[in-house]
């Protein structure tokens, strides 16, 4: 039985090399690929609960942004700084380098333009197409949920939960449940942006809006932020940013307030004028999810 079988969920503890000695090696007999493979850990060295067989070969991981530009000291330095930003946190990073993520995005573009101007051929990011993600959906149960995120088995996960919390809750911020998060991450918008990031068609950080009105109506339109970390080959998404359940009767607010312009129904921010039901508005706790760049989504 393998000593660290707990880190290979989905496999028998008595297997060797995931029953695939051609693709995987396990010289120590502990865990094929796992301990020395950075892909299974996030920037904080937390284990990412992915099924290792979804990765075909560790060599593929070398065809990455970091690899293609890693030999250039200047841009590597930039990525090192970016990596520090993930490790240190934004405040310490800003103190150390006096820079922001925005500058990183701009420098990333400037660097490439400069290279072209100097006649240097810039290698484009290589795409990695792997494993079970070919189903085209985020398998949330296999996605690492960061330490700042709610546990996957708690949270507001239906309109009933949302309204109940509004009526009988104390207004404290609430986490959103896994079903809602899974639905959000499988929207066409989310998958499209994710694929764009993998293709190098987006900046390292950014925000986008997802309209969940027809899927989970209490979420409505919500905001998602991302930050890509090429050095660690991960993308971190923050869902439901500064969103909340301001009112169960938001439809009135949209139709009568915004649509027809009746003043008493117009929103005035958190907890608009429609608290006639005696509820207490509350914020959503942002859900932070880190996924590897190797997870490509299709059907876009």
Partner 1 sequence: MNVKQSKLLIVLLSTITSLTVLSACTLMTEQSNKEFPLPLNLKAVYWGADVQFPVRGLVIEDDLNVLMVGKESKFLVNRDTVEVEKITKLGIGDYRLLVEVLDTKSDTFYIECIENNTGVTRHDLSLITSDNIDMLNQDSIRWIEADEITKRLK
Q: Which is nearer to partner 1, 41 or 164 (CB)?
A: 164
Nearer to partner 1, 47 or 160 (CB): 160
Least Å distance, CB 132 to partner 1, is: 24
Q: How far is the CB of 252 from partner 1 (least distance, A)?
A: 5
Rg (the chain; Cα; Å): 22
Minimum CB distance to partner 1 smaller for 58 or for 103: 103
Based on CB atoms, which residue is closest to partner 1, 177 or 220? 220
Q: Which is nearer to partner 1, 78 or 202 (CB)?
A: 202
Angle at 35 between CA 29 and CA 36, to 5 degrees: 110
CB of 275 to partner 1, least distance (A): 12
| Phi/psi at 94 (5° precision) | -65, -35
Extended strands (E) in the chain: 144-145, 174-175, 205-211, 221-229, 234-239, 244-245, 282-285, 287-292
DSSP strand pairing (287-292 vs 144-145): antiparallel
300/295 Cα distance (integer angstroms): 14
Is 204 within 8 Å of 101 (Cβ atoms)?
A: yes
H or E element that contains 96: helix 90-97
Closest separation in Å from C-beta 101 to partner 1 = 8
> Which positions lie near partner 1, rule CB under 8 A?
100, 102-103, 106, 109, 112-113, 116, 122, 124-125, 163-164, 167-168, 189, 192-193, 196, 199-203, 206-211, 220-223, 241-244, 246, 248-256, 258-260, 267, 269-270, 272, 277-278
* Nearest distance, CB of residue 205 and partner 1, angstroms: 10
């Amino acid at each position: 039985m393998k000593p660290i079988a707990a880190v290979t969920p989905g496999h028998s503890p008595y297997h060797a090399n995931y029953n695939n000695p051609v693709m995987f090696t396990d010289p120590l007999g502990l865990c094929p690929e796992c301990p020395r493979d950075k892909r299974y850990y996030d920037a904080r060295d937390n284990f990412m609960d992915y099924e290792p067989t979804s990765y075909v070969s560790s060599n593929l991981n070398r065809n990455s942004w970091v690899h293609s530009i890693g030999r250039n000291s200047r841009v590597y330095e930039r990525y090192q700084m970016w990596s520090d930003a993930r490790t240190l946190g934004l405040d310490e990073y800003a103190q150390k380098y006096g820079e922001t993520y925005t500058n990183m995005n701009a420098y990333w573009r400037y660097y490439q333009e400069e290279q072209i101007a100097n006649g240097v051929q810039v290698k484009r990011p290589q795409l990695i197409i792997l494993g079970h993600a070919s189903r085209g959906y985020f398998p949330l149960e296999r996605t690492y949920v960061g330490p700042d995120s709610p546990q996957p088995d708690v949270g507001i996960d239906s309109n009933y939960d949302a309204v109940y919390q509004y009526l009988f809750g104390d207004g404290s911020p609430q986490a959103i449940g896994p079903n809602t998060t899974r639905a959000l991450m499988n929207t066409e918008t989310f998958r499209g942006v994710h694929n764009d990031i993998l293709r190098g068609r987006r900046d390292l950080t950014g925000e986008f809006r997802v309209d969940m009105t027809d899927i989970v109506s209490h979420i409505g339109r919500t905001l998602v932020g991302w930050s890509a970390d090429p050095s660690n080959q991960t993308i971190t998404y923050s869902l439901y940013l500064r969103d909340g359940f301001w009112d169960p009767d938001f439809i009135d607010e949209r139709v009568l307030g915004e649509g027809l312009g009746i003043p008493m129904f117009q929103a005035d921010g958190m907890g608009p004028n429609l608290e006639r039901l005696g509820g207490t508005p509350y914020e959503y706790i942002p859900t932070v999810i880190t996924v590897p760049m190797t997870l490509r989504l299709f059907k876009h």
